């Protein structure tokens, strides 16, 4: 009973705080280019702490390119182990300009789902807790038991599907919400067709859309940035989050973007039908 009351309190507290930030973001000017990070912080002047690729013998890594990149730059422990969740929440906020309630909520969920106060990145690879089938960047666990290794073929296919034109902000083009919706449709259909152990509960579909929205809001869907972060799990020199609102990405904005991407999912492809998967492949 005490836990339910605590959860309810956390929910209303974080949602109210988040709503306040939505209004502040609406009413204040965006952060200027070059002003995202303060002196002494990682990212200041476009410089990130040294990138050191992980040692597979000793270092713990996850299926998440964002967290792995943070460890590869030493923003969180390089060995990816015993990361205190309040420390992680603060590091997420400062590195990616995610809203404080968003980071607290995510880390509270991690605490509850994995029943731990500190995180080893490899915890996140446990199947069907947060990691799920039909990911954009990794084959399903049935085909790729080590979910910490990025699938270069899937990443390249996603980047090649970008329809956003090249602009000064996106010199190699942009993966749009519509592209993300189509890419998820294709992954759902492929998994249903090919994976005899396929499962995707509502919660995991929600995670898939949430990740896709962070992908767009924070990494800007920017092909040039994504290629480096997704393939090398490295933060490019000069990178600043594409989300430039003063109080960072709110949960409400993330829900909105996830719904936007969901809207572009081809609902026909949600059916269990091989032909639909083949059709999706031809469309891509």
Looking at beta carbons only, is 203 or 275 nearer to ligand HEM?
203
Binding region for ligand HEM (CB under 6 A) out of 24-32, 166-174, 189-197, 209-217: 209-217
Looking at beta carbons only, is 228 or 275 nearer to ligand HEM?
228
Q: In the bound complex, what is the minimum distance in angstroms from residue 1's beta carbon to ligand HEM?
A: 28
DSSP string, the chain: -HHHHHHHHHHHHHHHHHHHHHHHHHHSPPPPTT-SS-TTSTTGGG--SPP----TTT----S-HHHHHHHHTTSS-TT--SEEHHHHHHHHHHHH-B-HHHHHHHHHHHHHHHT-SEE-GGGGGSBTTTB-SS-SSS--TTT-S-TTS--HHHHHHHHHT--BPP-SSSTT-B--HHHHHHHHHHHHHHHHHH-TT----HHHHHHHHHHHHHHHHTTTTBHHHHIIIIII--PPTT---S---TT-B-HHHHHHHHHHHHHTS-GGGGSS-HHHHHHHHHH-
Q: In the bound complex, what is the minimum distance in angstroms from residue 2's beta carbon to ligand HEM?
A: 25
Residue 211 makes contact with ligand HEM by CB under 6 A = yes
Q: In the bound complex, what is the minimum distance in angstroms from residue 154's beta carbon to ligand HEM?
A: 8
Looking at beta carbons only, is 14 or 110 nearer to ligand HEM?
110
Return the residues of window 65-84 that contact ligand HEM according to CB under 6 A: 65-67
Return the residues of window 118-177 that contact ligand HEM according to CB under 6 A: 124, 130-132, 135-138
Binding site for ligand HEM (CB under 6 A): 63-67, 88, 92, 96, 106-107, 110, 124, 130-132, 135-138, 208, 211, 214-215, 218-219
């Amino acid at each position: 009973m005490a836990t339910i009351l605590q959860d309810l309190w956390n929910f209303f507290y974080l949602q109210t705080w988040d709503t306040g930030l939505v209004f502040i973001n609406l009413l204040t000017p965006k952060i200027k280019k070059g002003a995202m990070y303060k002196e002494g912080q990682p990212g200041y002047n476009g410089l990130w702490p040294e990138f050191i690729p992980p040692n597979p013998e000793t270092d713990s890594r996850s299926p998440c390119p964002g967290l792995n990149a943070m460890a590869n730059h030493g923003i969180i422990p390089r060995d990816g182990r015993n990361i205190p969740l309040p420390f992680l929440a603060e590091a997420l906020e400062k590195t990616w300009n995610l809203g404080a309630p968003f980071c607290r909520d995510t880390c509270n969920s991690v605490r509850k789902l994995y029943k731990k106060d500190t995180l080893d990145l490899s915890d996140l690879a446990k199947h069907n807790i947060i990691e799920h089938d039909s990911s954009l960047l990794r084959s399903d666990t049935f085909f790729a038991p080590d979910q910490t290794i990025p699938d270069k073929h899937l990443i390249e296919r996603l980047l090649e599907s970008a329809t956003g034109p090249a602009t000064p902000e996106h010199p190699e083009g942009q993966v749009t919400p519509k592209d993300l919706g189509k890419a998820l449709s294709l992954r759902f259909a492929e998994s249903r067709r090919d994976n005899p152990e396929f499962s995707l509960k509502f919660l995991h579909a929600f995670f898939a859309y949430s990740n896709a929205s962070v992908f767009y809001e924070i990494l800007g869907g920017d092909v040039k940035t994504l290629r480096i972060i997704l393939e090398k799990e490295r933060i490019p020199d000069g990178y600043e989050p594409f989300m430039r609102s003063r109080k960072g990405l709110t949960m409400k904005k993330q829900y909105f973007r996830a719904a936007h991407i969901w809207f572009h999912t081809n609902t026909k492809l949600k059916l269990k039908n091989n032909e639909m998967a083949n059709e999706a492949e031809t469309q891509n």
